Amino acid sequence: MIKFDPRRQVLALPLLCAAFSGCGHAPETDATPPAAVVRKGASIAVPAGSPLRQSLQVASAAEQNVARVIPVPGVVEADSAHLVRVVPPVAGRIEQLLKHLGDTVKAGDALFTMDSADVAAAHSDATKAQAGLTLARRNLERQKELRAADISAHKDLEQAESEYAQALSESERSKARLAQLGGTLNGGNGRVYTLRSPLSGHVIELNGGQGGFWNDTNAPVMVVADLSTVWLTASVQEKDLAAVFAGQVADIELNAYPGQHIAGKVGYVGEVLDPDTRTVKVRVAVDNKDGRLKPGMFAQVTFSAAPHQGVVVPASALVQSGTHTQVYVETAAWTFEARTVATGVHNGELVEIVSGLKAGTRIVAKEGVLLND
């Protein structure tokens, strides 16, 4: 029987390893991977075999028309010149609602009627004033006749003239008040007040109900608006104001209708800067005959300045180095040099270069950051 001797195994293992030229060690080789870049001063060379040659993309800076694009948030608003909050000038009970929410109205249409004690009082005052004027006129005529016959004193005539003037003034005042409430001395129910629409449009808000008592002369019973044209109000930052002007065409995309664009025209640029937001309100008139735009809707408004010729590069060509913006310019085949540039208009994937680069110059258009220190 063969017995296992651990001492023999210990001695045999080094001999076995020596026979196979080392145990557990990879064979040494003189091959080294190529350098990714070779730097010599400001020059950066990408040698043959560098993996960067598969990543870097080189293109020429182009010259084309550049238009500054200013996207800002906006909100749809009703034109205040075509919106009326119908507030009754008197308190009373709403007797009849003649128009309801969503109804179309024309200028002069009756909206609702009210049974009002204020209207009754105005009618009563006008009637009394008219009776007083009639009495004062008769008295004046009588005093003129008596004075002509030298029967009455001159002061009596003067008194009659004064009383007539006061009665005439009071009559005119009371009739004006009654007319303001839509009433006349000799027509209609002396207690009923009819409120009519001052413009054509639609009833977009209704707060009162038929039979209800309305005593708040500062709150509207209903709101009538003509929404065939609406305003889109945008908040433009102070630094962008020079590129926005009245008459400018604006592109509008509503949050409610993504992907659909509407053209509008700037009607007004605000005169006052908001000190908190550093923005100015710009109002864009938008046609809304189809009624799709609802006051309160949010939108994205894009203003475009006048186009000009400029040098543009892909945004991916820009490399930030500290506080400077750089591009890598090709000085020879696969040899580059960093150059500081100043940027202008950012328009999607393209960026205008204001200084530091000429059209036609070949640059690293993509992955230039791999050359950065």
Query: Which of 18-22, 43-47, 193-197, 358-362 has the lowest average pLDDT?
Result: 18-22
When pLDDT is cut at 50, 70 and 90, the band that residue 183 belongs to is low
User: In terms of Cα–Cα distance, which of 314, 297, 151, 290 is closest to 232?
Assistant: 297
Mean pLDDT of the chain: 85
pLDDT at 15: 34
Top-tier CATH class for 118-190: mainly alpha
Q: Which of the four pLDDT bands, split at 50, 70 and 90, describes residue 193? A: confident
Q: Which of 336, 344, 325 is nearest to 361 (CA)?
A: 336
> Using 50, 70 and 90 to split pLDDT, how confident is the model at 184?
low
Given phi > 0 = left and psi -120 to 50 = alpha, else beta, which region is 172?
alpha
| Beta-carbon contacts of residue 313 (< 8 Å; ≥ 6 apart) | 61, 62, 327, 350, 351, 353, 357, 363, 365
CA angle (23, 26, 27) in 5-degree steps: 105
> Quick one: tokens of 144?
């003129």
In angstroms and rounded to an integer, the radius of gyration of the C-alpha atoms of the chain is 44
Which of residues 228 and 14 earns the better pLDDT score? 228
Tell me the pLDDT band of 187, cut-offs 50, 70 and 90.
low
Q: List alpha helices for the chain, DSSP H.
A: 6-19, 117-148, 154-180
Domain with CATH 2.40.30.170 in the chain: 71-80+227-304
- How would residue 76 be classed by pLDDT, with cut points 50, 70 and 90? very high
What's the pLDDT score for residue 138? 93
pLDDT at 289 over 70: yes
Q: Is the distance from CB of 195 to CB of 88 less than 8 angstroms?
A: yes
pLDDT tens-digit readout, 138-176: 999 998 888 888 888 888 888 989 999 999 999 999 888
What is the CATH T-level fold of the domain 71-80+227-304, as seen in this structure? Answer: Elongation Factor Tu (Ef-tu); domain 3 (2.40.30)
Q: Is the pLDDT of residue 6 over 50?
A: no
The CA–CA distances, whole Å, from 241 to 72, 197, 307 equal 12, 39, 16
- Would you state the pLDDT for residue 306? 80
Residues of the chain with CATH 1.10.287.470: 118-190
Predicted pLDDT at 181: 75
pLDDT at 373: 67
Give the rounded percent of residues in the chain with a pLDDT score beyond 90: 53
Of the ranges 116-120, 189-193, 284-288, which is most confident? Answer: 284-288
pTM: 0.61
Mean pLDDT, rounded, for 72-101? 91
| Residues in CB range of 203: below 8 A, 6 or more apart | 99, 100, 101, 102, 103, 105, 111, 222, 223, 224
**Six-digit token pair at 170?**
């009071």
What does the pLDDT read at residue 152? 80
Where along the chain do the CATH 2.40.420.20 domains lie? Answer: 43-66+308-371
pLDDT of 222-260, one tens digit each? 999 999 999 999 999 998 888 899 989 899 999 999 999
- Mean pLDDT over residues 266-281, rounded? 93
Strand partners, 312: 62, 352
Domain 43-66+308-371 has CATH 2.40.420.20: yes
First vs last C-alpha separation in the chain: 72
